[in-house]
């Protein structure tokens, strides 16, 4: 089964043959094997694991979409991190800052700017995925 992983900036990975891939979706985490039924699904920030040549590799991904066919999987995400050069302290600081701002928004609900709230929530979830990858 062919596998392609694309960020909004570049193609990150293009493997002609993989054994399986596990992806975080809105409803659950799913593992895609060869000959999977065709499916298009939304992705949430989390950990993507791809297994090829007997080796599993993990990536932190952001929001995106996955398209599965019987013999191919294409993942497009707005963030793709491979785990190299991740600064856990910086990630935790950004995550904590987003968490605090989210709490402030909840307390001051009457002056809630929904766009800003959603952006903070997305930042928090992406930093959580990066933290999870960095601590594996």
CATH code at 52?
2.60.15.10
Is pLDDT of 108 > 80? no
Q: In which domain, by residue range, is 57 found? A: 2-81
Q: Are residues 31 and 53 in the same domain?
A: yes
Residues 67 and 112 in one domain: no
- Residue pLDDT, tens place only, 52-76: 999 999 999 999 999 999 899 999 9
Question: Phi/psi at 17 (nearest 5 deg)?
Answer: -145, 125
Indicate if the pLDDT at residue 131 is higher than 80. Answer: yes
Q: Quick one: average pLDDT of 10-21?
A: 95
Q: Which two tokens stand for residue 4?
A: 């392609």
Residue 84 has pLDDT above 90, yes or no: no
Inter-helix orientation angle 114-134/88-107, to 10°? 150
Q: In this structure, are 71 and 20 located in the same domain?
A: yes
């Amino acid at each position: 089964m062919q596998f392609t992983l694309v960020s909004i900036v570049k193609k990150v990975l293009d493997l002609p043959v993989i054994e399986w891939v596990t992806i975080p979706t809105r409803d659950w985490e799913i593992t895609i094997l060869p000959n999977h039924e065709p499916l298009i699904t939304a992705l949430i920030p989390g950990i993507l694991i791809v297994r090829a040549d007997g080796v599993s590799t993990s990536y932190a991904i952001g929001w995106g979409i996955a398209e599965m066919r019987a013999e191919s999987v294409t993942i497009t995400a707005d963030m793709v991190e491979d785990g190299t050069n991740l600064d856990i302290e910086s990630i935790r600081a950004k995550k904590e800052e987003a968490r605090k701002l989210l709490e402030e928004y909840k307390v001051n609900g009457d002056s809630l700017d929904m766009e800003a709230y959603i952006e903070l929530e997305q930042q928090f979830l992406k930093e959580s995925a990066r933290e999870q990858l960095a601590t594996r």
